[in-house]
Amino acid sequence: MSEPIDLWDKTVCVSGRFEGRTKHDMELLLRGRGGTVFSSVGKNTQVLFSSDPNTSKAQKAQKLGIPVVTPQNLDATLGPPLWNYKMRMERSATRFSGSEFLATLAWGAPASEAALKMAEETIGFPLPAAFRSFYEQANGMSANLYVPKNRSKKLPERKTELIPWDVSADTDGPLWKDMAKNSSGTVGLANLLPLETIFSSDWSGMCMDVSDPKGTIKVGKRKVKEPEFFDNLYLFDAFHGYYQAGIWADRKNKALWVMIGEDYGATWHDSFPIPFETYMEELVFGRCLDRSVQNIYTKGWGRMRLSV
C-alpha cells in the first residue's frame, strides 16, 4: 500500500458526511493532518474529500484535475488513526516558533505489550484503534507552549521530560506560576498520562467526584448511573486543575470517549462523549491552546482557551 498523503499546507475541501464521522470530526481530522479546510471547490483546491463521487463538487474537481478522495480510498489516503502523530504534533507545535515558545514537548517510550494488555484487562474490551495507535507510538505526552511576555529575553532550552500529572493540574503550582510570569497570557498545555498512571491509579475523591448511587450522568443521549460512570472514568489529559479531561470506558459499545469535567472534577453532568481521535487531532491543530472541540458537541459552552 502506498504512503498516506501529506496534507501539510494543502488546501482541501470536505463534501458530505463520511460514515462514522460527523462533518466536524472530518474537518478536524484533516486540519490535524495540516490541511486548510474550505467548503467550496476552486482552482486552488488541492484535494477534495467527498462522500459521494457523483456530486457536483466531485464532478467539478475532476474537471479541474483535483484528486477526489471517497470513502473507498479514505483509509489509504489518510493512513491508520493518528498516523505519524508524533511528527505531526512536533511540526504543528513549532509552526509559529517566531512568536510562540515551546517550553516542553516530551514523549514517553512506546507502550509495552504488557501495558496495553493491562489497559484492556482493566476496561474489559480490546483497545480501540485510535487509542492503541497513539500508545504504540508513545506512552504519554507532555506539551507546553506560550506567547512570551518579553520576546527579547533569552528563553530556556526546551524540556523533554514528561510533566507529572499533579504538577500540570496544579494551577497554583510552579508550572502555572512560571507561565503567568513569562507569558503574555495565552498558553497551551496538554499532559496525556501513561497507561500505567491512567488505569492503575485510584482517582476517586482526587480528580473524580464521589458518585451518588441514585444519580445519573447524561452521556450523549444515554443516561448512565453514577456508580457505573465513575467506576469507568479515568484521568487522561491533566491540562488544568479546574477542568479535567477523562477517558470513559463505554463497556456497552466497547468504546473509549474523552469527557471533560469541571469544578475540580466535581461536575461531569454537562460533558459529552468526544471521539478519542477527534480530541487528539484537535490537540495537533490547536497546538494545545484550547479545547474548542467541546463547543461543537454541547450547547451553551464557549470556547475553552487556556490562559493565565
3-state DSSP of 130-142:
HHHHHHHHCCCEE
Low-confidence ranges of the chain (pLDDT < 50): 1, 293-302
CB atoms within 10 A of CB 275: 23
**pLDDT at position 308:** 65
**pLDDT at position 302:** 46
DSSP run (H or E) holding 38:
strand 36-38
**What is the rounded distance in angstroms from the CA atom of residue 181 to the CA atom of residue 299?**
34
- Strand-pair category, 11-15 with 47-50: parallel
**pLDDT at position 265:** 75
**pLDDT at position 81:** 94
**pLDDT at position 87:** 95
Q: Which of 308, 292, 301, 283 is nearest to 142 (CA)?
A: 283
Which strand ranges, in their side-by-side order, compose the sheet holding 101-107?
Answer: 101-107, 141-148, 183-192, 233-237, 244-250, 255-261, 274-275
Segments of 66-220 assigned E as strands: 68-69, 101-107, 141-148, 183-192, 216-219
pLDDT tens-digit series, residues 242-287: 888 999 999 999 999 999 888 877 788 767 888 999 999 989 998 9
Architecture of domain 11-78: 3-Layer(aba) Sandwich (3.40)
Query: Are 11-78 and 85-297 equal in CATH topology?
Result: no
Q: Which three cell numbers stand for residue 145?
A: 507552549
pLDDT tens-digit series, residues 70-104: 999 998 999 999 999 999 999 999 998 888 999 99
**What is the rounded distance in angstroms from the CA atom of residue 136 to the CA atom of residue 127?**
11
Q: Which of 51, 59, 56, 6 is nearest to 30 (CA)?
A: 6
**pLDDT at position 270:** 67
Q: Which three cell numbers stand for residue 137?
A: 507510538
**What is the rounded distance in angstroms from the CA atom of residue 107 to the CA atom of residue 176?**
20
Topology annotation, domain 85-297: SMI1/KNR4-like (3.40.1580)
Q: List the domain boundaries for the chain.
A: 11-78, 85-297
Query: Cβ-count burial of 167 within 10 angstroms (0-12 exposed, 13-18 middle, 19+ buried)?
Result: middle
**pLDDT at position 138:** 98
